[in-house]
Amino acid sequence: MRTVFWDYEQNNVKMIDQRTLPWSVDIVAYEDYRVVAQAIQEMVVRGAPAIGAAAAFGLALAAQQSQATNRLTLIKEIEAAAAHLNAARPTAVNLYWALQRLLRLAVSEELDSADDVRHALLQEAQNLADEDVALNRRMGFHGAELVSDGDTILHHCNTGALATVDWGTALGVIFAAHEQGKKIHVLVDETRPRLQGARLTCWELQQRGISYDLIADNAAGYFMRRGEVNLVLVGSDRTAANGDVANKIGTYQVAVLAKENGIPFYPVVPTSTVDLNLAHGDLIPIEERDPTEVVAVWGTPIAPDGATARNPAFDVTPHRYVTGIVTEAGIVYPPFVKNLRRAVEAEQKK
């Protein structure tokens, strides 16, 4: 089952509700693009590629919702819906990328009527979702070249099928290596404060029968220093042109520890997540979420009443800590300014 998909019988968007995993697998349906935006903000769906697909289907839904019979009127409504969806979460560039892809199509002079626009947007959203699955598999098998039989891999957050339409990015590399028969073990950071590693990554690894241990976030350095980690794989919500990587909070400290201990550190990044318009990572907007996520663990308070907290959802890892970046175009190595652009442009020409 895909993380996010269009139900052609019900004519609505459906998603796996990631807030209830691993305790139950719930499918939720949406018939209003505003509620899709709310689902993105509230992390019913999360992970940069999955957010992009959800936004694309949300915009297609906005077109279906509209009562406009005039093409230009419909386009204005779609543009307003895109602005609303784009505001849901600021860091993941796939959200903006997916919406811009559909908006460019909506204004095409080849679409003569409002119904033509509606049909084209839904088809393009479906194309985007299908492409995500295919490129994730390509990326996974490129990255599997980095994995040796017997390796222990440290993984932060969740980057599997749940973070994409299907298959995954960094976990997709692990899945590919497992399919190749390599015996691997995964150390899974719990990933506070929303515990995506503990709840989601462990669940996905269990589904595939891959060996793992869950560890506290602050135990990663312990295992690295003991020589128990061969490779670090993480995802990315936005990668700047110079190779700086914005990813789930805690990634930066993992990268620094990996560098200190001589362990290769590879983000696994579809080219749609590379933002060539941003020269470096300090320009990436970082979302700050509700501080109650920090002072309570899944609704259970862990701090005194009235405790204050800060809750950045992401941090930026400077490119000097990045060994290489796995993309669907292959593994990109420094200098990233030149080689990342080459990879992105090669994929755009396909």
pLDDT at 231 over 80: yes
Query: In the prediction, which pLDDT does 1 show?
Result: 85
pLDDT at 102 over 90: yes
What is the arithmetic mean of pLDDT over 224-234? 98
Tell me if the domain spanning 4-137 has CATH number 3.40.50.300.
no
What is the arithmetic mean of pLDDT over 146-172? 97
Catalytic residue among 132, 166, 237, 244: 237
Dist CA 182 CA 248 (whole Å): 27
Q: Determine the number of helices (DSSP H) and then strands (DSSP E) in the chain.
A: 12, 16
Q: Reduced to 3 states, what is the DSSP secondary structure of residue 268?
A: strand
What are the CA-CA distances from residue 267 to residues 131, 184, 199 (Å)?
20, 18, 21
% of the chain at pLDDT higher than 70: 100
All structural domains of the chain with their residue ranges: 4-137, 141-348
Class of domain 141-348: alpha beta
pLDDT at 63 over 80: yes
pLDDT at 72 over 80: yes
Dist CA 177 CA 185 (whole Å): 11
pLDDT at 188 over 90: yes
pLDDT band for 298, please (50, 70, 90 cuts).
confident
pLDDT at 350 over 90: no
Give the side-chain half-sphere CA count within 13 A for 316.
19
pLDDT at 217 over 80: yes
Q: Reduced to 3 states, what is the DSSP secondary structure of residue 211?
A: strand
237 carries an active-site annotation: yes
What is the arithmetic mean of pLDDT over 213-227? 98
What is the arithmetic mean of pLDDT over 219-225? 98
Spatial contact of 40 and 48, defined as CB atoms under 8 Å apart: no
Query: In the prediction, which pLDDT does 349 show?
Result: 81
Spatial contact of 54 and 45, defined as CB atoms under 8 Å apart: yes
Q: Residue 103 burial (CB < 10 Å; 0-12/13-18/19+)?
A: middle
In single-letter form, the type of residue at position 331 comes to I
Query: In the prediction, which pLDDT does 75 show?
Result: 95
What is the arithmetic mean of pLDDT over 62-80? 95
> What is the rounded average pLDDT for all residues in the chain?
96
Spatial contact of 162 and 132, defined as CB atoms under 8 Å apart: no
Query: In the prediction, which pLDDT does 348 show?
Result: 86
